[in-house]
Structure 1
């Protein structure tokens, strides 16, 4: 049993403890509260009044797929040869030895959702994983957690250079619809063939992958910056009765009244700590998270690493707080909210009994950049202890 005492605990569940204690056993949090009796055989860590919170989660990045300081040899983020590649899996393109894993971990980011980029209309399957572990298999939480799709400038820019579809937003929507319809028909044929194997359709790896989306086993992870692209993504999701998260959602604040009437998993906002590198980013602002949050939308923040290095996600949260998001809501936007959007809130994102023991301790509030991250624990393993 490991016990952390004398901590200012922010659980992310609207119950905080000024002088709290956390019990950890077998990699899990087994108790949290105040005035708890510490078993005599425990390993006790004195937090010395430090700010204790759950490990930070980035719900959208490309960690391990666009490796640091390498160039082409380490660039496995976009298979820009076919606008529809749902059968690709991020798991097969990640290098867990990329030094950015260590930088992310030492910055307090303990869980990420990483995957293909936005060159293709359908890019492939994201993976959710811890940033700590000896092997990729050990680090993975869910090897197929979402299906990346992309709207807006990126697919049309890539494929117009090849003189092929999509070169317009119409083309992007049409390709996505076409493949979703094919997947629906594929599922129907397989179901009809259960009693007659001779009717079984020929195996199609792409449609097998998209079947998970149609069956709502995984959501669409929709790259959409501009307001019209956001609404197109939602329109198609509604048309096929799909689960969807809105990733980037740069102009979400411009259509907040429409968004609050829609049903989707949440908005993963960012990367905002960056320049306006293309037209669809012209309305980029750190006010977006607070406007969406105030409308009752589940908001997470993301770096889109390597666009913003992962370790700077707390800075993004601090800037969002400066622009209207409360400190507590800004902390939730990098912990429990991304956990909810990624369907991981039964494992990570808060300091609760039964959750993975992913724990950070700062010597002050993490939004004060002069403060230091003194203690890091992942799955009950102490990664750093400078208390």
Structure 2
């Protein structure tokens, strides 16, 4: 069995890479370990409109649950800030439907798909990845390929087998637990975020509306003592709502891995750490980077050069296009890590009274004079 490209993982990263490689005429196979694409859900399901621009698709009511206009942000003492438009705009997806839809779109332009298929090993010749060994329904298959794209999540076995250092540790992961709940009282067009070391140390609680009183209620934490699930149970204990689904997983929040390519192979999505460290959001970043991977695979095969020297272009391009944003996001996450609950409350009260688009230097100087402990933070931001 021989393909131009084999993609491992059929979520957003895998399907996007497959879609753009197949559109240009490559012979592509995408394999997925689960028997159904899109399940289990391991995501809060929010994304920005840029995702659809990247995919060259129009958002569809088939998989868009709610259109988001802004967000409400709560400090530990309940101080409430409101964000309207801009970065806070976007959509809540039904990932079970959206992921499968994206795979279907890829199949329509020529991608072959095999579900319930697991990678056992990589095929190498002269140190170069040139395919993989997989098991499918009890059968072992050798699948040769000019390029392998690993989109198999934070525990990417494919990237590790290729010798890339993509391993995550407890300190680089945010542990997450989420209920889908029925009977949640909310504005269906606004996200809710709750910060505080008591409710979500090293992270935050989210309430993302899906319409008709249904919402994703989740928590992401970095804690050595308690699980994300225990914080979720505590937060939802007094909510008059019923959970109908529980999802638990991890999100890489340390920024991208150092190297996302080698001879014959590229890594995308969570496997590459292509997630915003501050928010933990990754759909739009993954789609962007995966499209680049698919297009670089096309160029590599057209030029008959799938060496690391050529595939390095993938990393150069995604760093040029999204690298700065990811660095900024990591900086803000590290700043937030330094704040105590009381400092979060003070900062929230100040920001609540400001026009975030045009905070004056005078107001910032006045704030720092009153609270000199924020001087270092201000220098880091500026």
TM-score, length basis structure 2: 0.25
TM-score, length basis structure 1: 0.25
Q: Comparing both structures, which one devotes a greater share of its residues to strand?
A: 2
Q: Comparing both structures, which one devotes a greater share of its residues to helix?
A: 2
